[in-house]
Amino acid sequence: MPTLIKASADGWGIASESAEIQWQSPQDWHSGDALLLTADLEPVAEFAQADRIAIEFPAFNDGRALSLAVLLRTRLGYTGELRAVGAVHEDILHYMVRCGFDAVEIPDDRDVQIALDLISPYSNVYQGSVDNPEPSFRRMQRG
């Protein structure tokens, strides 16, 4: 079973809750239920009413799930838990966080401690993103 890591006020850590949830596909989903989306899905406004949303990463080299996360957070204003599931790899965790994910299921074949160490590898980034919309030049104090 995958290990769930989540963001909290104290930073990222291994969640005490189980990763097992009754995820519903968009066809079977009702407002308030946990919703499982595939990376190729176009988001609709009703998704913002989900209790939590998981986006399945079909492969390590498929970035569509990152784009879907950004659309959910920015276009639809989704504020609930956004979880990455599937072919999650620690090399892209920092991108996942910047795109709005606040929970990630780490597959059994990946090292959870390495994943936690790689969530925030940089102290500063140039581009704006979901987690910090202002680009670096707007955040910098000029003398």
- pLDDT tens for 33-86 read 899 999 999 999 999 999 899 999 999 888 999 999 999 999 999 999 999 999
Residues 6+ apart with CB under 8 A from 78: 47, 48, 50, 53, 72
Residue 15, burial from CB neighbour count under 10 angstroms (0-12, 13-18, 19+): middle
Token pair, residue 77, equals 């204003």
- pLDDT tens for 107-122 read 999 999 999 998 876 6
Phi-psi category of residue 124: left, alpha or beta, with phi > 0 → left and psi -120 to 50 → alpha: beta
Can you give the pTM of this predicted structure?
A: 0.85
Burial 97-124 (b: 16+ CB within 10 A, else e): bbbbbbbbbbbeebebeebbeebeeeee
DSSP 90: G
* CA separation for the pair 36, 106 (Å, rounded): 16
